[in-house]
Amino acid sequence: MTNLALSKEHPVKYFSFSLFLFSAIVSSLPTSSLARASDIVPLFRYFPQTWNTQSGLPHNSINALAQTSDGYIWAGTWEGLARYNGATFDIYTRGENTGLPDSGIRSLFTPPKNNEMLVAGSRGGFTVLKDRRWNAQKPASSMINHAFESSDNSVWLALEDAGLEVRFSDGSESRYLTHTSAYRVIEDKDKRIWVATNIGLYLYSEGKIELASPTHEALAGPTFTLALDQSGRVLVGTEQGVWRHTAIGFSVLHSGLVNESVSSILLDSQNSIWIGTINHGVYRLSQIGLEKLDAKVGLPNNRIFSLLEDVEGTVWVGTNGGLFSLRRAPFTTFTKDQGLSGDYIRAVLEVDDNSVLVGSSSGLDILKNEKFQSVSSPLGRPISILSLANRDSQSVLVGTYTDGVLLYRDGELIPFLDRSNGLPSNEVRAILKAKDGRIWFGTAQGLTSQSLDGSLLHYNENDGLPAHFIMGLAEDRFGRIWIATGMGVAYIESSVVHNLTFPETSDAQYAFSFHADTDGIWMATDRGVACFNFASQAVTFIGKSQGLPVDKVFAIGFDQRGNAWITSNQGVFLTSREDLLASINRSKSQLRLEHFKEEDGLKSRQINGGSQPSLFISESDNVWLASAKGLANTTSQSLARINSFSIPVTIEEVQLDGHVVSSFKGDGPIIVSPDTKRITFKYAGLGYAMPSRIEYQTILEGYNDSWSARGQVRIAEYTNLSPNNYFFKVRARYPDGDWQEVDVPLVLSVQPRFTQTYIFKIVIVITLCGLIWLAFRLRFHHLKRTESILRKRVSEQTKSLELQTRQFEYQATHDELTGIANRRAFDKHALDLFRLAKTSSYSLCLAIIDIDHFKQVNDCYSHMVGDQVIKEVASLIANSIPHDALCARWGGEEFTILLSRHDTDQALDQLESIRRKIKKHDFGYIANNLTITVSAGLADINLASDYDRLLNHADQALYYAKQQGRDQVVVYKHS
């Protein structure tokens, strides 16, 4: 299946119908019937659209058209069958999928009672499409021009050069007219079968077939197509027009068609008859007459092969140059082709129920009963119109670009006011008839008011106006006159001009027009819609931050239903008064709106501003818009009509990680492997009245429990879904219409990995239990066997731990380098002895010994030599002190000695002995010429109140010994 994107509509092909009438709104229709034609509109009110091979069609010759019950539009071409969903074409050709021997399609037929479509064409190919499945049938002997199923389920095949083949519902078959070309088959209300052939019209009855009217010249020659009218009578398309069968024979349908070779006929839902011709385009015969559409006014080609009306009333035309459709779009646009003097419209005013005045750059026109009539200029040349306003029930004031103000009355224009008799400028963009009878004129050089007596009063910047260029005027319920200028907004109350200041946050500078409301004044400005509230005297804005797509809007108006219409250079916006007020009261509230552009019937999205009124809404909710390419018109009813259509919605495609599920038929669950990461759904709402405006919502039950808004997006994606069963649903609608949900939700079954299945989990649990039991048994035997070994090891480890404990205790109390006590052990022991000495009043001395110039030893010999010196000095000290004395390495090259029961003199003698011993000791075995001396500081317990003070005294004495030249012992004294 191939998806081809639909190209944009040709801008040059926007429908420019010029009504071609035969016999001037004929004719054969009784005059009284016109009263019943209110729902039938002229062809120029339809919106056209064209598709060709550039748009995705496989071929430009559209031989057959059909709409299946699911809502798709099908087009049969010489290069395959195209299925259209409102956005793209899917192409089906010959092969295993369709079962067709050739891609050329000549016939599409949808039986009224069966949900199927008969497809036939070249090489006798014949297949039936039902519920998305193709069921190939036995091929015919030659090309099938038309396949038809009658009410008794018999199939009738009209063959090229082989006549008629009938496949009866009982299984039997028959052949008729074997040497002719049959083109069309139909069944009338009396169950009779009619056959159009190249040699005349035939009627089948009880196994026999014969000419229906052998003496009739037109019906005894080539007949090409057949249809039924609203009464069930047969219509025959011939080389001499269309003929209708009645109880008394055949009569011509319309005299204006007698010279036409008719290739197709369609009876639409309004009982209008559409006639496709071989070389002259399409005709429509309705209660408003006979109208013609050909290539001169938008048809792709004048050779017509097929016609179809879909369930929404859109008419599809299959031509030799592409596919063409006519639909009732929300807007109708009138241009010069319908009789306007010019396409550039600036002002529009409905003067009564049947008349609309239209001012353009080329003059003034009046629209009555769907016809335009130009109003002649009193100046002998075209007049450029800028503004319109009712003066009274009989006359209208007309503001111009260069000729001041004219008065329209009784179908004529006459001069009224210009620069020669008091108007400051002949450029008049706004006119207002106030409630007090005064008339206000907004000109390019200021504001002028005309009193009832004809006197004029002028206002400009000197009187307080923000600027002299006037674009819009309005009167509020208090009688104040509001003025929109090129540099701001003002209002006049009691002849005094008051300027209105916009909030700085709005960035707005000026307004184009006003709408006076009960509670305030609405303004169309260069930064969105503004509202001046009478009660609060405040101006609030609705702009881009609230969801308005553009900055600059030209006009705003409200219809009777509360709809708000807003115009701009980017089209027309429709919202509601309620939503506007909600956005004003809640500044962060996003404005809900519809955006109308060319595809909605506008021939230009530029809705002109700067003139008044460029937007006019009548009491009957007729909305008129002045655009750069014609006069646009719509009604709330036309929108409601389209929005009321129920849109069939279908799921077209499912993709798993980008791969299309080829077996997807819309029934049965789709099995999704556990390795799938992304699931994509493509869907379509099959509506053709406003396809670009269809809204979608989706839900995936099992994943979320509420509908997700998709806007106009036709795709939904989900990633990394956990194993489960899911139900995908989609629904669609036109704006404000009723949601239409897909008939059957799509079921997804996301499979678990083997590791996620219950079986795997049960196996894992059983395996774990078995392993635990086995491990327990093995452990039990192992414990029994190793119990004695463990006991032995425990004993050995206990001894080892005791040894390690003793080693740790030794390491904790002895210096690693010297083997004597460390500072931690010394402090603990010295503190205990200090307390005991204080308690028992016996003597105790503490000395700190430091190796002199030890840094030079490290620097000159190395740190390894330094370590050897420390060890040797420690050994000398330990071997020189009494057995009850304690020595320790204090840190670095310092040592401490605690002499218990030694007074100062005894301790001094002991230290001097150690000093001399170290000085005389031969350190040459450590390093050549190495001599070591020490300094010592001695402190007595009698001068220290606590152990820390004793240490401090010894340290001070040591410091003093170093100051005095080292190699000496100093005793701490108070001095």
Based on the domain organization, do 834 and 961 belong to the same domain?
Answer: yes
Cα–Cα distance, 729 to 743 (Å, whole number):
9
Output the pLDDT for position 42: 87
Asked whether residue 792 carries a pLDDT value surpassing 90, the answer given is no
CA 235 to chain centre: 49
Give the pLDDT band (50/70/90) at residue 4: very low
- The per-residue pLDDT of the chain, averaged, comes to 89
Q: Which residues partner with 914 through β-bridges?
A: none
Based on the domain organization, do 748 and 801 belong to the same domain?
Answer: no
Cα–Cα distance, 657 to 664 (Å, whole number):
15
Asked whether residue 757 carries a pLDDT value surpassing 80, the answer given is no
According to DSSP, residue 606 is labeled: -
Flag the least confident range among 91-95, 282-286, 751-755, 832-836. 751-755
Cα–Cα distance list, 593 to 364, 505, 554, 604, 734 (Å): 33, 23, 17, 19, 13
Nearest to 567 by CA among 619, 503, 516, 515: 515
Residue partners of 450: CB distance under 8 A and separation at least 6? 417, 438, 439, 440, 441, 456
Domain C-terminal end among 608, 643, 678: 643
Task: Give me the percent of the chain exceeding a pLDDT of 90.
Answer: 65
How many domains are there within the chain? Answer: 5
- Quote the crossing angle between the two packed helices 758-813 and 823-840, to the nearest 10°: 50
Interval 595-624: pLDDT, tens: 999 888 899 999 998 899 999 999 888 999
Based on the domain organization, do 391 and 428 belong to the same domain?
Answer: yes
Interval 210-250: pLDDT, tens: 999 988 888 999 999 999 999 999 999 999 999 999 888 99
Based on the domain organization, do 53 and 117 belong to the same domain?
Answer: yes
Output the pLDDT for position 663: 64
Beta strands in 288-336 (DSSP E): 289-293, 304-309, 315-319, 322-327, 332-334
Q: Is 901 exposed, middle or buried (0-12, 13-18, 19+ CB in 10 A)?
A: middle
Output the pLDDT for position 15: 36
Write down the pTM of the prediction.
0.71
Q: Output the six-digit token pair for 811.
A: 């390491």
Interval 540-596: pLDDT, tens: 999 998 889 999 999 999 998 899 999 999 999 999 999 999 888 876 678 888 899
Flag the least confident range among 67-76, 282-291, 744-753. 744-753
Output the pLDDT for position 80: 96
Nearest to 228 by CA among 192, 190, 187, 256: 187
Interval 276-308: pLDDT, tens: 999 999 999 999 899 999 998 889 999 999 999
Based on the domain organization, do 882 and 918 belong to the same domain?
Answer: yes
Output the pLDDT for position 599: 87
Cα–Cα distance list, 198 to 220, 250, 342, 670 (Å): 9, 18, 49, 51
Q: Which of the pair, 183 or 247, is modelled with greater confidence? A: 183
Give the pLDDT band (50/70/90) at residue 367: very high
According to DSSP, residue 526 is labeled: T
How many residues in total does the chain contain? 975
Nearest to 885 by CA among 868, 909, 856, 861: 909
Asked whether residue 9 carries a pLDDT value surpassing 50, the answer given is no
Ordered DSSP codes for 372-386: EEEEPPTTSS---EE
Average confidence (pLDDT) over 449-477: 94
Report CA Rg, the chain: 53
Based on the domain organization, do 30 and 56 belong to the same domain?
Answer: yes
Cα–Cα distance list, 11 to 25, 50, 276, 569, 838 (Å): 30, 10, 25, 17, 116
Give the pLDDT band (50/70/90) at residue 1: very low
Output the pLDDT for position 664: 63
Cα–Cα distance, 275 to 262 (Å, whole number):
7
Based on the domain organization, do 594 and 690 belong to the same domain?
Answer: no
Signed CA dihedral, 632, 636, 637, 641: sign only = positive
What are the CB-based long-range contacts (under 8 Å, 24+) for 873-878? Answer: 873/918, 873/932, 873/934, 874/815, 874/817, 874/818, 874/819, 874/820, 875/818, 876/914, 876/917, 876/918, 876/921, 877/820, 877/849, 877/914, 877/918, 878/820
End-to-end CA distance of the chain, in Å?
A: 113
Q: Which of the pair, 183 or 15, is modelled with greater confidence? A: 183
For the beta sheet containing 126-130, the strands, ordered from the edge strand earlier in sequence to the opposite edge, are: 105-109, 116-121, 126-130, 133-136
Give the pLDDT band (50/70/90) at residue 778: confident
Domain C-terminal end among 621, 643, 665: 643
Based on the domain organization, do 501 and 620 belong to the same domain?
Answer: yes
Phi and psi, residue 249, nearest 5°: 125, -155
Based on the domain organization, do 204 and 283 belong to the same domain?
Answer: yes
Output the pLDDT for position 362: 94
Based on the domain organization, do 531 and 393 belong to the same domain?
Answer: yes
For the beta sheet containing 615-617, the strands, ordered from the edge strand earlier in sequence to the opposite edge, are: 332-334, 630-635, 622-627, 615-617
Cα–Cα distance list, 203 to 170, 173, 188, 224, 317 (Å): 21, 18, 11, 14, 28
Give the CATH number for residue 518. Answer: 2.130.10.10
Nearest to 921 by CA among 933, 908, 909: 933
Asked whether residue 119 carries a pLDDT value surpassing 90, the answer given is yes
Cα–Cα distance list, 441 to 406, 426, 608, 939 (Å): 12, 10, 20, 118
Average confidence (pLDDT) over 163-168: 96
Q: Which of the pair, 101 or 584, is modelled with greater confidence? A: 101
Based on the domain organization, do 389 and 416 belong to the same domain?
Answer: yes
Give the pLDDT band (50/70/90) at residue 36: very low
Place of tokens 């077939």: 209
Give the CATH number for residue 913. Answer: 3.30.70.270
Average confidence (pLDDT) over 472-501: 94
Cα–Cα distance, 198 to 193 (Å, whole number):
17
Output the pLDDT for position 31: 32
Residue 898 structural domain? 814-971
Domain C-terminal end among 643, 667, 696: 643
Based on the domain organization, do 891 and 863 belong to the same domain?
Answer: yes
Task: State yes or no: cis peptide before 648, omega within 30 of 0.
Answer: no
